[in-house]
Amino acid sequence: MPWTRRYWLKRWPAWSAALGGGVAASTGNSALAAAPGASPAPSERMPGDPPEHRIVYQLNQAGAEHLEHILNSVGAMIGRYQDNVAIAVVAFGPGIHLLARQPRRPVPEALRQRARGQARDYGVRFIACGNTMKTLRWTAADMVDYAQVEEVGAAVLMELQEQGWAYIAW
């Protein structure tokens, strides 16, 4: 079993409540304990079970605002579903610059670090389109270490949808 940050964060509220602590108990604010829509009811999942939710994002624009929207949404999904969601981001066209070691379009370093952290800490899959890479004359060596290169990014989007993944595009 992987002892990831996500694993421990998911279990923290239960341990804290069992010990009589927690944010709500320590502050006396019961509204924090049961904020509507804060997270879904716990399921019957056991540690190590596959996530019940799967979502794939299309990333095909390089603008900082667009990149930020996608990464914010990824973060919101992690916050809501914790380790009960599998997330993939398929980057092609101008969006692939987020995954380049030396992007040819401006990509804020803060967003590059956020993507790296989401991949490292939460297992978010960042998939680079091989066709776009060929157009740019890039190889796998030109991509960040956490990028997974697939021959056709659009095919990955289609295949994940066929497997029941929810598809999000801006």
Per-residue pLDDT reduced to its tens digit, 36-79: 555 556 668 888 899 999 999 999 999 999 999 999 999 999 99
This prediction's pTM: 0.75
104 DSSP 8-state letter: S
Residue with tokens 């019940």: 52
Can you give the pLDDT at residue 18? 43
Chain centroid to Cα 65, Å, comes to 17
CB 58 within 8 A of CB 168: yes
Domain ranges of the chain: 52-168
- The answer as to CATH 3.40.1260.10 being correct for domain 52-168 is yes
